A = this chain, B = another copy of it.
Amino acid sequence: MDFESWLTGFTDGEGSFIIGISQEKGRVKPRVRPIFEISNQDLTILEKIKDYFGFGSIREGKNGVYDFYTKNIEEAAKIADFFRKNPLIVKTKEFEAWCRVLDLIRQKKHLSEEGIKLIDSIRPKNLHPRSLKRHPRKEYKMSNVCPVCGKRIVRGHHH
């Protein structure tokens, strides 16, 4: 048994490479977050995977399902390294698109509207049904930002 190959097969079944784009209250720009997630009913194996990577978190989902998930770009980068070393067989396109977005985030492209549009167009579309429920593909939109001062335009905003 080669655990890295096993984990690659398990990810080809249960894993999701997610790029979340969310418009949060009080933020001018949408937030772009790369997430790697494995959902399963077996908490023990998710804990083993978390131990193996040495990072990530686990939360309890619905219907007795748990999720192992990463939280930031640094963890995402380590996941990318792992699957470059251990190539996926099924989720290759999703992984490639996810890595392209990681590069764009490193280049700070996610901070401009153009960059977010580009990220939205190339981010992986095929999520695991469970992940899709949690990360629905809502249409994102930039808030109104004043071209003069860069601040959010609220009622009464003028120069």
Tally of this chain's copies = 2
Q: Is the CB of B10 within 8 A of A5?
A: no
From DSSP, what is the main secondary structure of chain A's interface residues? helix
Q: Is the CB of B8 within 8 A of A90?
A: no
Residue from B6, B41, B45, B126 in contact with A6 in the complex, judged by beta carbons closer than 8 Å: B6
Q: What residue in chain B is nearest A88 (Cβ atoms)?
A: B6
Q: Is the CB of A89 within 8 A of B9?
A: no
Task: Indicate whether A5 sits within 8 Å of B13 (C-beta atoms), given known contacts A90-B40, A90-B45.
Answer: no
Residue from B9, B87, B90 in contact with A5 in the complex, judged by beta carbons closer than 8 Å: B9
CB-defined contacts of A11 to chain B, threshold 8 Å:
9, 13
Docked CA distance A20–B86 (Å): 36
Q: What residue in chain B is nearest A86 (Cβ atoms)?
A: B1
CB-defined contacts of A87 to chain B, threshold 8 Å:
1
- State whether the Cβ of A81 lies closer than 8 Å to any Cβ in chain B: no
CB-defined contacts of A89 to chain B, threshold 8 Å:
6, 45, 48
A contact residues vs B (CB 8 Å cutoff): 1-14, 40-42, 45, 48, 86-87, 89-90, 126
14 A–B contacts, CB within 8 A, in A order: A5-B5, A6-B12, A7-B9, A8-B9, A9-B10, A10-B12, A10-B13, A12-B45, A13-B13, A13-B40, A14-B14, A40-B90, A45-B90, A48-B89
Q: With A1-B5, A1-B87, A41-B126 given, name 14 new contacts (CB 8 A).
A: A1-B86, A5-B6, A5-B9, A6-B8, A6-B9, A6-B89, A7-B9, A8-B9, A9-B13, A11-B13, A13-B14, A13-B40, A42-B90, A48-B89
